Structure 1
Amino acid sequence: MTKIKWNHAAALALFAASQVAHAGAPSVGSREYKVLLMPSAFDSSPVDTANRFLTDLQASLAANGFDSTVKKSFKADHDRTVLYYDSPGTCVVRQTGYSMRERDESGDRKIELKFGSPNESTSANTDVTGSSSKASSKLEDDITPPSNETFSHSTSEPLSDSKNINHLSDINDLFPTTHAFDSISSQPLVPVSGLSIHELTFDGPTSDIGQEDADFTMTVWYANGSTTPALAEISFEVDVSDKGVFTDKVTARSQLIFNTIQGMTNWVQSPSSTKTAWVYKYQPSFCSQ
């Protein structure tokens, strides 16, 4: 069991370029709290390891005075291939505040363009509209250790089997309101760090935190065909209420869970980062001129 101290919110000092103001900017629909865990713990039977983590989390929450618990257990959810795209030598996609990710699950391809900023208005007013009638957009508040906050505006849509991603112009083809790369559209767009990621996700556990539930996901990554886990992340998502707000109770209880996880030092990777940051660090020379 791990005792913790309360962490106060902190903001990242970062300015992301190339935002495009537009009418009807979205509002935040959810918060997602994310913590990287030590991947070596998941060397065998990741679902069993995920549930051992859950048992430890339940005990740590009780030790920290949480008057509820996390119910249910982890079960297999997604099994897919993940690619991140950027321009080698410049990483101009990341430099302008975006990320571009493809997920392929048994031939069902989806592409996502995401813009992130510590400023909610900047992110909300950056248009990432997709080209497909089946495109789905959202604005969420991503929170990572120790208390970094990024507002992420993203659109995900189907990607046809025949669509090849080769140049920055493909971003505009798929997300036609995004013009940040128009002047350099001929530059190549390739998988970041040469990485092909085998992603397993596990879901199921929930916790009653007031007007909303916290829904938990465990993610495990394997890099370039390896059978040894390269990354593991525990996350939980909390939706806004029917009135479009996070109540004080929901916020306080979410923060308690988040801080409790960070205090589980036998599980948590330190220093922590994000999955996207890990991808770009995998081969540091990828972004070098």
Structure 2
Amino acid sequence: MNKPLSIISAALLSLSTSVSAADVDVGSREYKILLDTTSFSGNTTTRATKVNNYWTALKNLIENDSIECDTSGSLSLEKSRTVIFYDVENSCDLFNAGYIFRERIDNGNREVTLKFRSPDRFIASKKDMDGTESGWESKFEEDLAAPFSSKYSYSTKQGISQSKNLNKVDDPVGLFPGLADENLDETLAIEKVGNLTINEYVYKNASVDLGALDGEFSLTLWYNETVSTTQPIVAEISFKYEDTNEGFSNNVVTRSKSLFSAMQEDSTVASWNTQNSLTKTAAVYQYDSNFCD
């Protein structure tokens, strides 16, 4: 016997409600472009001057007739810290499962982050990314790389003690229990990806008025700590806007896309860009071409 329409409708409504409740809102959208590393060679003073020169060119682009958005602030050094990525040498089990596991050390304080990335929003949002340490924080965001490709990332960060070892796969699994769902061999050793210890410098405090939301800029430079050179191994400019309820208006997203395109097409600003379309993380994984072999 056919069920009454009212019962079917109620069932569908209940299903729809439960599925929607399980979804995770995109809390931020970040637009990223890799820059030519040779453009930022030099000592600390020279580097700051070149960052300022880049911001001047970008600011002029943003405020000209084609974009016509207001800017505020300027790019200044806000963070200086150490970054290390870990994975299984020769197989890169974490990376191949879609995960990135990294440690940041800032003024002696250690923080680890596990990030899962996928072009499929629903695959990314369904991952169990809970942490185990007090005060762990998660975020779900969309990353947009040049020319315009999108990936969703679900990440959790948490502090760890000075004595915590990061030697085997069971260490990140112990910190992020949902990782056990991937059935990785937890006895395998994890090593620094590419044998890299990265000195990271992040320049911030510049923004663009996108309408209801501001876009916050970051210019990030990565250096190999163990190599004596004034040229970074990675340079990236990005801007992002945030709303925990995914309240991104048409005006905000349209202006952002126009700006992102202009940053790749304007002859002055684009002259700072690299032709390499790798992300920062991909650049680290390819720094030593034999690490994942």
**Partner of residue 279, structure 1:** 284
Give CA-to-partner distance per residue, 1:133-183, whole Å, 9 cap, x none.
210000000000111100000000002100010111111111112214545
> Is 1:28 equivalent to 2:31 in the alignment?
no
**Partner of residue 214, structure 2:** 213
**Partner of residue 242, structure 2:** 239
Answer yes or no: is the 8 Å Cα contact 2:141–2:154 preserved in 1. Answer: yes
Q: Residue 246 of structure 1 aligns to which amino acid in structure 2?
A: F
Q: Residue 238 of structure 2 aligns to which amino acid in structure 1?
A: S
**How far, CA to CA, are the matches of 2:82 and 2:59 in structure 1?**
31
**Partner of residue 38, structure 2:** 40
Note the 1:95-244 alignment, pairs <5 A: 95-225=96-226, 226-228=228-230, 229-240=232-243, 244=246
Tell me the matched-pair count: 266
Answer yes or no: is the 8 Å Cα contact 1:87–1:93 preserved in 2. Answer: yes
**Partner of residue 15, structure 1:** none
**Partner of residue 56, structure 1:** 57
**How far, CA to CA, are the matches of 2:290 and 2:39 in structure 1?**
28
Q: Residue 133 of structure 1 aligns to which amino acid in structure 2?
A: S
What SS does the aligned partner of 1:50 have?
A: helix
What SS does the aligned partner of 1:73 have?
A: strand
| Structure 1 spans left out of the alignment, 5+ residues | 1-20
Answer yes or no: is the 8 Å Cα contact 1:26–1:138 preserved in 2. Answer: no
1:105 deviation in Å? 0.9
Cα–Cα, structure 1 residues 243 and 107, in superposed 2: closer, same or farther, change >3 Å? closer
Give CA-to-partner distance per residue, 1:86-114, whole Å, 9 cap, x none.
00010010100000010001211100000
**Partner of residue 66, structure 1:** 67
TM-score by length of 2: 0.87
Answer yes or no: is the 8 Å Cα contact 2:121–2:152 preserved in 1. Answer: yes
What SS does the aligned partner of 2:177 have?
A: coil
Answer yes or no: is the 8 Å Cα contact 1:216–1:235 preserved in 2. Answer: yes
CA RMSD, Structure 1 to Structure 2 (Å): 1.6
Q: Residue 34 of structure 2 aligns to which amino acid in structure 1?
A: L
**How far, CA to CA, are the matches of 1:101 and 1:268 in structure 2?**
26
What SS does the aligned partner of 1:252 have?
A: helix
TM-score by length of 1: 0.88
Answer yes or no: is the 8 Å Cα contact 1:77–1:202 preserved in 2. Answer: yes
Give CA-to-partner distance per residue, 1:180-233, whole Å, 9 cap, x none.
454511011111010000000010101110110000011011113333222111
What SS does the aligned partner of 2:180 have?
A: coil
**Partner of residue 249, structure 1:** 251
